[in-house]
Amino acid sequence: MSFTHIRKFVVAMKSLGYPHTISLEDFCSPNFKLVADCLTWLMLRYDPTIELKTDISTESHRVAFLQSATRLMLSKARIKLNAKRLYSADGYAMKELLKIASVLQLATRCAIVSEEDNTELGPSMRMFDLKATRVLVNEITKCGATFYDVLKSEPELHEARKRATMADMDMDYIERNMQDSINVILNDIDVTNQENTNVENDITMLQTKYEKQKFELERLENRLSTLQNVRPAYMDEYELLKKELNELFLVYVEKSRNLQWLESQREIYNREEQEKLEEVNRKMRRLQRRVQNEELCILQGEEVAEDVVNMDSSEDSSEDEKTNSWTWLHRESSKLKEQEVKEDNVVDINQTSAEELDDDSSDDDF
């Protein structure tokens, strides 16, 4: 125990008004009676309502006295005292007593400062803000209602506090629990630190990857700009072929339209020729029927009907008509043959055009 702590404890006890004189040599050797007297006086100075047994005649009474004193200070002032050091009654015991004396000395100083301070505590007579006052009134009302609700549970809490303070607390058990809690917290801190280290490593790795990707992106952008500025060697040939392709496409469109028009004209011509051929066939069938009827009447030796007689009377005209009919039929047959030859020529022309178009399209594809 250092001389500074002893001197500080002696000064604190004098400032608090301890009735007996304490010298610096009193704690050089064990002095349990002085330690018990100082402890009792400090506890009564802290709380005059404390009931403490001061019988220290035997060893068991001393142990009970220290246990009750440490328990009361822990429950009322939240000051943890080491009973073993107090029982030693030397300089280390004085260090434990200094904890209580420091608290009381600090409270005394604060009280003296507050008494010397001449601040005005009453309400000010200056002009105040009405809006701010209304806000404060509403807050006070809410706080009062909340405080009233909290006070409803005060009887139960008072009983719980009383049971907690009156219970016989084992300091060793509490110390072990506190140590276990501290160990758990330290383990959690180690785990958290390890996780933070892992996160920092991940951040560093991701930062490195980001820099690499950024460098790669810049390199690719530079390459793209270079390729955009450089004109390829085959670009001239490409533009020339593209121009030729456009011209060939125009020729292809024109020939396709001509071919479609020729096909439509051929269909019209074929339809007209088919109608003419059907008309010739009808006339031929009528003529054959009439000739068959006349021959049948002649073979049976029957009189020819009036229409047949009229037909005989106009035999010349009928023969002329027949001759004209056969002549017309021969002429139509010649026309049909010529038409077939023309159609074959048109088909050959269409095939030749289609082949040329296929050749042009293959050249375009090439």
Domain regions of the chain by residue span: 1-118, 236-365
User: What pLDDT score does 176 carry?
Assistant: 86
Query: Two tokens at 297?
Result: 């009447």
First to last CA, the chain: 105
User: What pLDDT score does 124 carry?
Assistant: 45
223 Cα distance to chain centroid: 34
125 contacts 67 by C-beta, under 8 angstroms: no
Give dist(CA 76, CA 50) in Å, integer. Answer: 10
What letter does residue 49 receive in the DSSP assignment?
T
Which CATH number is 1-118 given?
A: 1.10.418.30
User: What pLDDT score does 183 carry?
Assistant: 92
Residue 13 has a CB neighbour count (10 Å cut-off) of 23
Per-residue pLDDT of the chain (366 residues; tens, 9 = 90+): 567 777 788 888 888 888 887 777 777 778 888 888 888 888 888 888 887 777 788 888 888 888 888 888 888 778 888 888 888 877 788 888 888 888 888 888 877 776 655 444 444 444 456 788 888 888 999 888 888 888 888 888 888 877 777 766 667 777 888 899 999 999 999 999 999 999 999 999 999 999 999 999 999 999 988 888 887 778 888 889 999 999 999 999 999 999 999 999 999 999 999 999 999 888 888 888 888 888 888 887 655 444 444 444 444 444 444 445 555 555 666 666 666 666 666 556 556 655 555 555 444 444
User: What pLDDT score does 47 carry?
Assistant: 82
User: What pLDDT score does 268 carry?
Assistant: 92
Give dist(CA 253, CA 247) in Å, integer. Answer: 10
Give the helix, strand, coil percentages of the chain, each rounded to 5.
80, 0, 20
C-alpha angle 51-52-53 in degrees, rounded to nearest 5: 130
60 contacts 80 by C-beta, under 8 angstroms: no
27 contacts 13 by C-beta, under 8 angstroms: no
Give dist(CA 365, CA 164) in Å, integer. Answer: 99
